[in-house]
Structure 1
Amino acid sequence: MHYDSRITGDTITCVFTPERNLIAPVFCFSGMGPFEAVSGGTVMKTLGSYTEIALPNLAAGDAYELVIQYAGGFKPANRAWLPLGPYLRCGKEIIALPIPESGCRPQVLPDLGPVEGLPLVPQPQSWAASEGVLETSGFACDSPAFESAAALATRRGWSFVGDTEVTVEHADLPEDAYELEVSTDGVILRAGGFGGEFYGAITLLTLLQHGSLPCGVIKDAPRFAWRGQHLDTARHFYEPQTILDLLDLMALLKFNRFHWHFADDEAFRLEIECFPELWQKTALCGEGHLLPALFSGAIEAGGSYSKDTARKIIAHAKALNIEVMPEIEVPAHAIALTHVFPELRDPSDNGAEVSVQGYKGNAVNPAIARTWDVLEAIMAEVGALFPFQHLHLGCDELPEGTWMGSPLARDLMKREGLETTDDLQGWMMQKLGAKTVENGQRPCAWEEAAKGSNGGIANGAILFSWTGQGPGLEAARNGYDVVMSPAQHIYLDMAQTSDKDDWGANWAAFVSLTDTINWEPVPDADLAERIIGVQGTFWSEFTTEDNQLWPMLMPRMLGVSSKAWQTECVGADGLIRLAHVYNDLPGAEVWTG
């Protein structure tokens, strides 16, 4: 079977050339969003971006064209927007179709010459050079933090352990801050605790890869306490080893928060005990499964994470000074929940709301007692598994008009004096936030959780500002702690260029390495105490294999690291120079693709 797809202006042309006659074939696939047929076929079924299109009988050897387009005004930006996981169904027969080359091609950055200063990302707060260099093949230190750095070096195949003594001295320094004094006789590391010692060791590990170490004093401390990276494992199931490799990369760049997004419309991938059917029925997607989304590029794909696997990931992260925050994602982005538990929806709801991803009715209903039974059980079990004691509740992209067609919801709103969808969402999130606190965790949510006549989720929640900085600034003015994650700068699933041959989304912007540092996380100095961090984000709608992750993240994670750690960044040219330095490190192919 020969199959090809290509972008033709604002549409996509798919060409089928069978080797034998096919009777009543149905074309099945997913993509970046909902599809419509322009010519050559009839849409039979949709669920989100998953689409089935009936084709006429196909004759052997004849090329047949189907023209499709994205619904809602979306236009294909690049190869990532072509049909994903395509196959034909002919009666009971499944015919896999050839998959075009997928994934981002690593960006070639200009060579701007040598790095000015130390070859480190993030750059240290200060560096005072002295005469001489320390010639060494590695370091000796009995600190647990050094042991963690040495284990990381071993996993990466880098040299680190040797005979040069590192003396660790306790100092009254902020969390994660450190001082390094390098002389021809050895190294003195001053820190106030594990985090500072670990980052001092990471700095030595990085510098060692370039040979001798210049003598001098490094004084370093992070600008923000929250330096995060998010990964969506709901749309694409990443092998546990890939997540461990990501944590290693994060540690090298001095990130300290991993936002684990394992639940969404497409799947709930953590193997919880309170409702095993939730992950058992959604872990695999594709032909014959409850949820047919095919983002992973196969007829059947997916997986789930056992609690033992989660504990391994948590322990691995902890050794790298990284805390893991889980996200359960409510009230919207919940098709997985509502398909497994249809009783979480009002059967009399006649609303027509549809999510931007094309899902109809993807929000659980807060007016139903069963909704609270299910959510509170999930919150308690998931929260108890993660020692960080932060639980992200989701709360993004609730479709306009949600619950307005539900008699049960309308009755609840009348009793509680609520008028709008946002009011009901705010009421719901405040209750969920209070329950999170009762369970011993701090609630977290996306920016929309601040909406509602009640002022939003409250309960000391941390909000993540993603559509831009504006909602985050407003939330900070209203007393929320905020982590800045503006899509226009640090959503690393965005394509890096406008080239049709590139890979990634573009709804927010095309995000280059330079774009990752061309913004100020705290544009209003009066809000400095409320803006607690910076976090990069990666969504996986178009990821078909794990190894496609690395050239999307790198080198742009260098920019996220710089904004999260430094008060003043090195500038675009300096970051490009540093990117070359990091690409030259031994083992760099592990995370640059």
Structure 2
Amino acid sequence: MNNFITLKLKITLVLVICVLSTFAQQKDVAYAIIPQPVKLVPVAGSFKWTTATKLVLAANSESLSPAFKELKATFTGLKEGKAEVNTVTLILDPSIANEGYQLSVEKKAVVIKAASVQGAFWAITSLKQLAGTKIFRRKVVLRKSALDAITIPCVKIEDAPRFSWRGIHLDVSRHFFDLAYLRTMIDRMSYYKFNKFHLHLTDDQGWRIEIKKYPELTSKGAWREMNGQDSSCIALAKTNPDYAIPEKHFKMIDGKRMYGGFYTQDEMRGLIAYADSKGIEIIPEIDMPGHMMAATNLMPWLTSHGKGGQAKDFSEPLCPCKETTFEFAENVFTEIAELFPSKYIHLGADEVEKSSWKNVPECDALMKKEGLKSVDELQSYFVRRMERFFNSKGKKLIGWDEILDGGVSPTATMMYWRTWIPTAPKHAAEKGNDLIMTPGEFCYFDAQQDGGTLKKVYSFDPYKFNLNESEKKFVIGVQANIWTEYIPSERRLEYMVFPRMLAMSEVAWYKGGVDWGNFEQRVQKHFSLLDAMNINYRLPDLEGFTTQSVFVNKGVLHINKPLAGLTIRYTTDGTLPTIQSKIFQSDLTVTKPVQFKVAAFRPNGNRGDVYIINYEQQSYMKPAQLSSPKKGLKFSYYPHFYKTVNAIDEKDLASESISKAIEIPVEKTAGSFATRHKGYFYAEETGIYSFALRSDDGSVLKLGDKVFIDSDGMHTSIEKSAQIALEKGYHPFELMFLEGGGGYMLKLQYKTPSGKLKDVDASVFFH
């Protein structure tokens, strides 16, 4: 009898745990705030926000007035004033951490407490997200009755950011974005609690900010004829209209059709004020001494050789050995310092063609005078001198991690981007430099995306760069960078930024890599918010198929829909899917070679990525006959830089061994290298096998004598998939891979005819 009671208690306890677990998951989805708050306590009930709701700025809280204005602007039509019920109150509370806030939502009242106006902004942002999509239709909603109220779930939140620097960088030189869109960008940054907007205002391709001392920098330097990057975009626009270059950025100058644009100083002051009203600081970057062709083409005397244009690897830089260079730079930065209230100015100082300074009499003389031993130290001389000038204007210098070359002062702030220099963060921290972590592997949003990109950004750990506990304190934040060589339009920019900006916001505010499943659930909820903001975000991948598919007698095209509300359309005549194309409603049987072009469409008509699915008819590949196969693959290692795997040269072979599976059994790899895995893949049954190869950089997979998956060349982490018909037995296998620098990825998965996709392991490889 006692055993029976104990069993009943155990069953009851299990049921209670299951119910509570389910309830907790439901609550997680109900409070889909991104970035995740530090502490969130669900409370039963909801607050109804109607035209009767009153807004209250508490006594002695006048410093929060900008946030109070934002609150009023968000919920248009509401009035200030006290009331016993249905109030939203903003209170200054000095005891709360800087940029932190407390948000209490009860059935009859919402209370926001913050120690700073920035903290109040972030509380309002959380409130907006809890309000859902209705907030973007507020003028319609608030004209109606209380039945159409904006409903906010009751909750108690205590929150504060992980980092003080939560940045988004936008390059407006390569392709120009006007003030109206920059305001839109600021709105979206604020919605996800970013607080630093780093504007890359000058580069080889265009000078975008007015300098009154040198008006030709914008009258001429802001405009260009079509360049190679523009031509690439125009070619890509033939199949993807998001690559089209907006006509509004062209004008006729001296009879030529020129592309470009710039911001006057008055326009920039307006943008700075607008950003400030959203809790965001704008940081200007004027890139020197390299990336200066927009200026040196007009003023060639600024360079060492009296000419602008391209040098060996990068453009001709400013000459750091002429006083006229510093006169120019100081004149420019005097106006920049007066225009931008931020305490930071970004000098750039990356990718400098320092070889242009060699064998130059002025430089030889300066190096001798200053005791400089290399052109790296000459670069450092320029950076240090500019930093002293910045300091004289009350500003702090930021530079890309090249400022370490030749030595750096401990008061400069470094942005780390070159993942192929893994020692840079530690080197800077040891010298006492503040660090903003923006490694290209995670933070370069101009890199192409695939199904693994969002999770990759979410996994970013800014401390995971050999920093000890005392060195980690120098990491002041993280930043996502958007370089626009191949991002010419607002729609293309949004596609490249969203939704991975959401993952970066979580890394910056809370912590990335904590609970991918929970974050993914919250992102799913935010897709409707992105729709309401009319953002052209990248849809989750369509899945269930292989892009290079095969069949023997017949095949079946199956597609999994990643989001409710999507419509999947397809064509088989070579044209791109449109809103009028056939709807994919159920599996399609394939009995002859065919190419499908498939895309998902959102309810607003926006099209997602186009997937090209090729079906090829094959016979089963005959296996090889092996007398005594041994476990593992023959592994070869080549510590040399190659641009393609076809360039691998056996004279560079450094070591050979046997690897169990797809691994790189080298204790310490070179910065750039190539590998080869060779042997046999064992097919355990006859049928169609699917393979998925992910690599960063290039890789090529061969089965039999056939190139099966070709992902060659220099690129970020991407996945390619293909199918092949195999008879049971051993099949010749070869996988070549190259790493160009900056961190590598090599992963191979497969699916048997009757199984699920899984990582390859030692059980299937032989030699």
The two structures have a TM-score, normalised by structure 2, of: 0.56
Change in Cα spacing, 1:438 to 1:343, as seen in structure 2 (3 Å) is same
Question: Which of residues 110, 125, 130 is equivalent to 1:187?
Answer: 110
CA distance in 1, matches of 2:315, 2:280: 37
The CA distance in 2 between the partners of 1:553 and 1:134, in whole Å, is 33
1:518 aligns with 2:459: yes
Give the Cα–Cα distance (whole angstroms) in 1 for the partners of residues 518 and 259 of structure 2. 41
d(CA) in 2 for partners of 1:470, 1:151: 47
Separation in 2 of the partners of 1:533 and 1:166? Answer: 32
Aligned to 2:654: none
Query: Which deviates further from its counterpart, 441-450 or 127-136?
Result: 127-136
Change (3 A) 1:423 1:284: same
Whether the aligned pair in 2 keeps the contact of 1:562 and 1:569 (CA below 8 Å) is: no
- The C-alpha deviation readout for 1:524-583, integer Å capped at 9, x for no partner, is 332232100011100000122222111110001001101110035553333332222222
**1:220-271 deviations in Å (ceiling 9; x for gaps):** 0000001110000000010111111000000000000000111011111111
Alpha-carbon distance change, 497 to 160 in structure 1, aligned in 2, over 3 angstroms: farther
For the residue of structure 1 that corresponds to 2:216, the secondary structure is helix
Mapped pair 1:327 → 2:327 = no
Determine the C-alpha separation between the residues in 2 that align with 1:178 and 1:334: 43
Determine the structure 1 residue equivalent to 2:296: 338
Deviations 1:188-239 (A, max 9, x none): 2111021111111111111011653332310000000011100000000101
Match of 1:419 among 373, 380, 392: 373
Aligned to 2:757: none
Q: In 2, distance between residues paired with 1:153 and 1:447?
A: 44
Equivalent AA in structure 1 for residue 201 of structure 2: F
Where 2:453 maps in the other structure, the secondary structure is coil
Residue of structure 1 in register with 2:551 after alignment? none
User: What's the counterpart of residue 407 of structure 1?
Assistant: 361
Whether 1:236 and 2:236 are equivalent positions in the alignment is no
Residues 497 and 406 (structure 1), Cα distance of their counterparts in 2 relative to 1, 3 Å cut:
farther
Question: 1:343–1:395: structure 2 CA closer, same or farther, 3 Å change rule?
Answer: same
In the TM superposition, residue 462 of structure 1 has moved relative to its aligned partner by 1.4
* Map of 2:153 onto structure 1: 214
CA deviations over 1:65-98 (Å, ceiling 9, x no partner): xxxxxxxxxxxxxxxxxxxxxxxxxxxxxxxxxx
CA drift of 1:389 comes to 2.5
> In terms of mean alpha carbon deviation, does 195-204 or 212-221 score higher?
212-221
How many Å separate the matches in 1 of 2:101 and 2:211?
A: 39
What is the CA distance between 1:308 and its match in structure 2?
A: 1.6
With over 3 angstroms needed to count, the CA separation of the structure-2 counterparts of 1:425 and 1:590, relative to structure 1, is: same
* Separation in 2, partners of 1:114, 1:127: 10
Does the alignment pair 1:563 with 2:507? yes
Q: Which residue of structure 1 aligns with residue 487 of structure 2?
A: 543
Structure 1 pair 129–348 and aligned structure 2 pair: CA distance change class (3 A) = closer
Aligned partner of 1:284 among 220, 223, 228: 223
Residues of 2 paired with 1:153 and 1:448: CA distance?
Answer: 46
Tell me the amino acid that sits aligned with residue 128 of structure 1.
Answer: V
Q: Give the conservation status (yes or no) of the 8 Å contact 1:285–1:302.
A: yes
Find the aligned partners of 1:233 and 1:134 in 2 and give their Cα distance.
42
Q: Which residue identity does 1:515 align to in structure 2?
A: K
Deviation at 1:591, TM superposition (A): 5.4
Change (3 A) 1:410 1:294: farther
Deviations 1:287-328 (A, max 9, x none): 6xxx88737756631111111210111011000110000000
Q: Check 1:518–1:551 CA distance in 2 against 1; reply closer, same or farther (3 A cut).
A: same
CA shift, 1:401, in A, is 2.4
2:485 counterpart of 1:527: no
* CA–CA distance in structure 2, aligned partners of residues 267 and 445 of structure 1: 20
293 and 380 in structure 1: CA distance in 2 versus 1, 3 angstrom threshold: farther
SS of residue paired to 1:340: coil
Counterpart among 27, 45, 49 of residue 132 in structure 1: 45
1:372 and 2:330 are equivalent in the alignment: no
Greater relative CO, 1 or 2 (CA 8 Å, sep 6+): 1
- Identify the residue that residue 177 of structure 1 maps to in structure 2: 100
Query: What's the counterpart of residue 7 of structure 1?
Result: none
Q: Tell whether 2:343 aligns with 1:389.
A: yes
- Residue 533 of structure 2: aligned partner: 588
CA distance in 1, matches of 2:516, 2:351: 33
Residue by residue, what CA displacement relative to the aligned partner does 1:145-190 show, whole Å, maximum 9, x if unpaired? 0322443566xxxx99898312223221121100112211211211
Query: 2:352 matched to 1:398?
Result: yes
- What letter matches 1:140 in structure 2? L
Displacement of 1:445 in angstroms is 1.0
Instruction: Give the Cα–Cα distance (whole angstroms) in 2 for the partners of residues 235 and 378 of structure 1.
Output: 20
Match of 1:148?
A: 70
The DSSP-based 3-state class of the residue aligned with 1:135 is: strand
- Flag the 1:433–1:462 CA change in 2: closer, same or farther, 3 A: same
Distance 1:234 1:160, change over 3 A: farther
Q: Distance in 1 between matches of 2:228 and 2:265?
A: 25
Structure 2 distance, partners of 1:371, 1:546, is: 36
Contact preservation (8 Å) 1:317, 1:324: yes
1:35 aligns with none
- Change in Cα spacing, 1:326 to 1:229, as seen in structure 2 (3 Å) is same
Counterparts of 2:203 and 2:181, CA distance in 1: 20
- Deviation, 1:399, is 2.9
Query: Which residue, out of 27, 35, 39, partners 1:122?
Result: 35
Matches of 2:300 and 2:499 in 1, distance apart? 43
Distance 1:538 1:466, change over 3 A: same
Report if the CA contact (8 A) 2:222-2:294 is conserved: no
Q: 1:390 and 1:354, CA in 2 relative to 1: closer, same or farther beyond 3 A? A: same
Aligned residue identity for 2:96: L
**TM-score where L is the length of structure 1:** 0.72
Alpha carbons of 1:473 and 1:118: their partners in 2 closer, same or farther (altered >3 Å)? farther
Equivalent residue for 2:230? 294
Preserved contact between residue 396 and residue 446 of structure 1 (Cα < 8 Å): yes
Which segment is superposed worse, 314-323 or 200-209?
Answer: 200-209
Partners of 1:533 and 1:139 lie apart in 2 by 37
| 1:566 to 1:512, Cα distance in 2 relative to 1, 3 A | same
Look up the equivalent residue of 2:66 and give its one-letter code.
P
How far is 1:117 from its partner? Answer: 5.9
Counterpart residue number, 2:399: 445
Shift in Å, 1:113: 9.5
Answer whether contact 1:449 1:457 (CA < 8 A) is retained: no
Match of 1:310 in 2: 268
Tell which structure's C-alpha radius of gyration is larger. Answer: 2
User: In structure 1, how many angstroms separate the alpha carbons of the residues matched to 2:267 and 2:174?
Assistant: 19
Distance 2:35 2:513 in 1: 9
1:463 corresponding residue in structure 2: 414
Judge conservation of contact 2:300–2:306 (CA < 8 Å) in 1: no
CA contact (8 A) 1:351 1:406 kept: no
Residue 425 to residue 322, structure 1, CA distance change in 2 (3 Å): same
Distance 1:192 1:252 in 2: 20
Cα distance change, pair 198–411 in 1 and its aligned pair in 2 (3 A): same
Q: Secondary structure at the match of 2:43?
A: strand
1:198 aligns with 2:108: no
1:77-96 pair list within 5 angstroms: none
Once the two structures are aligned, what percentage of the paired residues are identical? 29
| CA displacement, residues 423-450 of structure 1 (integer Å, 9 cap, x when unaligned) | 1101110000000000111111111112
Q: Find the counterpart in structure 1 of residue 196 from structure 2.
A: 257
Partners of 2:358 and 2:429 in 1: CA distance: 30
> Which residue does 1:50 correspond to in 2?
none
| 1:256–1:349 distance in 2 versus 1, CA, 3 Å | closer
User: What secondary structure, in the 3-state scheme, does the structure 1 residue paired with 2:321 have?
Assistant: coil
What's 2:90 paired with?
168
| Equivalence map 1:42-61=2 (5 Å) | none
- Cα distance in 2 for partners of 1:115, 1:301 equals 48
Q: What letter is aligned with 2:484?
A: S
